[in-house]
Chains A and B, each alone.
Chain A
Amino acid sequence: MSDSLQELYGRTGRTITDRDAQDITRVEELSYDLKTSDVMSRDVQCLAPMDTMRAVFDLLRKHHISGAPVIENDSLVGVISQEDLMRAMADGDQHAPIQKYMTKKVITVKSYEPVVKALEIFARTKIGRLPVVDENEKLAGMITKGDITRGVLVAIRKDYQEEEIRRYRASHLFEDIISDRTSLILRYKIKPRDFTNGGQASSHIKRALLRLGASPQLARQCGIAVYEAEMNLIIHSNNGGVLRVQVEPRRILMQTSDDGPGIPDVKQALQPGWSTASELARSMGFGAGMGLVNIQRCVNKMDIESAPGKGTKLFMEIHLRSDEKFKAPPESPEGPGV
């Protein structure tokens, strides 16, 4: 994390949790994503070099601001601040032109630069506000730390809300629909040897689980299991097969089925390193005989039903921990709603 961000968000000196880390990462990303022009104030009160210091006093008081840029022929020629004004007042010099007291070497930030650039300048110089100029060095606006904080908060709230709404709708599925046994079934047809699109179904499944409110760990665990299973269909099945996922409040059932060729020796197929995969599958980084072993590692229960000439059914089941479970309807008197 950059120094300026640490200063801005004051996270130093305490333990950073995963949740914090996620938020910080997003804030950091935003400090690179957002441009100064996205967060700056455009409605800027300007003065001219020949205006008097009295005019500065009136302007700052009227608009409750602590400084203003000084413009001549559309160009930024200086900035005048409360401190400059105090110096002029101390000299009894309120009728002097601004150019006598203004700062002429102005530090600026470009409108197309990321806000992190402005943060770096704030941290380095202790300046509180910066003029933002466009590619032609013309004044485009002013930026303060407050503008940045506001801009970041608005952006976070926006993408948080968008995702929350999608998640809210999906994750309340199990609460809104009352039945003795509610489940959501996702079904995908998998084509044989389709290495180009292989993994697409698993990708959709992982995304769906996240939308339903699964933790990233749970979605990853299921994603890896179904991806290995999907690749098995692509690599081995004669005519492709079906990948089916059944999401229930307390468990996720995943299943692939195909109509051949079938596994002659299931026990052997479960040996780490045993593989009958083609050269093509191997060239894709699979077929090392680790797929089923890896699935076993990801799920709570795995079963294979297979016979040569008949096809293969692979059953996988993941039990959700109590803190992970999808929002379930109130339990029926007969017991859990599964």
Chain B
Amino acid sequence: MRLSEVIQYAKGEVLNPSIFKDYEIVGGCGADLMSDVLTAAKPGAVLLTGLCNPQVVRTAEMADVRAVIFLRGKQPTPEMIELATQKNIPIISSQKGMFELCGQLYKAGLLGLEASWSDYHE
């Protein structure tokens, strides 16, 4: 699925259009806990989150997240938008809730790119 289609489902707004590219997105990860993203998200995922602070952008950078969608109408600060732009990570603001958007994207064929914690404790 194209990032533009993901944005259509999210009814979202791209906050750093200058670096926007219509990437092919293979899967997603939904989390508010950044440690979960660092542990479980696989590279290339779109991250759906209700958390809104600079560490989300840093985490996205470290975990090779393709794009970040801030849910429930949360608005990142200009500093966060600037950081994401520097790191070449498109960020999107959406009014939708986590449950709803995850469900819609999954139904539309986007894979879950989240591993289980137990995968790492063999």
Contacts and interface: CB of A to CB of B under 8 A. Distances in A.
Q: Decide whether A and B are members of one complex.
A: yes
Interface in A279-324: 283-286, 288, 290-291, 293-294, 297
Interface in A197-211: 198-200, 202-203, 206
Interface residues of B, number: 28
Interface string A261-294: 0000000000010000000000111101011011
B63 A220 contact: yes
B87 interface: yes
B63 A284 contact: no
A290 B39 contact: yes
Contacts of A290: 33, 35-36, 39
Contacts of B38: 224, 227-228, 294
B112 interface: no
B21 A202 contact: no
A228 B39 CA distance: 10
B92 interface: no
Contacts of A291: 35
A195 interface: yes
A202 B87 CA distance: 13
B32 A285 contact: yes
A199 B87 CA distance: 12
A297 B55 contact: no
Contact of B35 (A33, A220, A286): A286
A28 B22 CA distance: 9
Contact of B55 (A1, A195, A206): A195
A224 B33 contact: no
B100 interface: no
B24 to A, nearest CB: 7
A264 to B, nearest CB: 22
Given A228-B38, A291-B35, A25 B117 contact: no
B39 A198 contact: no
A206 B64 CA distance: 11
B43 A216 contact: yes
B63 A196 contact: no
B56 A32 contact: no
B23 A25 contact: yes
B120 to A, nearest CB: 5
Contacts of A141: none
A285 B62 contact: no
Given A29-B21, A223-B62, A294-B38, A272 B53 contact: no
A224 B41 CA distance: 11
B31 to A, nearest CB: 8
Contacts of B23: 25, 29
A291 B64 CA distance: 18
Nearest to A291: B35
B33 A288 contact: yes
Contacts of A217: 43
Given A284-B55, A285-B34, A32 B21 contact: yes
B97 to A, nearest CB: 18
Contacts of B58: 198-200, 202-203, 227
Contacts of A206: 61-62
Contacts of A202: 58, 62
A206 B61 CA distance: 9
A294 B35 contact: yes
Interface in B54-85: 54-56, 58-59, 61-64, 79
26 contacts: A1-B24, A28-B24, A32-B21, A32-B22, A195-B53, A196-B54, A198-B58, A199-B55, A199-B58, A199-B59, A202-B58, A203-B58, A203-B62, A216-B43, A217-B43, A224-B63, A284-B51, A285-B51, A285-B53, A285-B55, A286-B34, A286-B35, A288-B33, A290-B33, A294-B39, A297-B39
Interface of A: 1, 25, 28-29, 32-33, 195-196, 198-200, 202-203, 206, 216-217, 220, 223-224, 227-228, 231, 272, 283-286, 288, 290-291, 293-294, 297
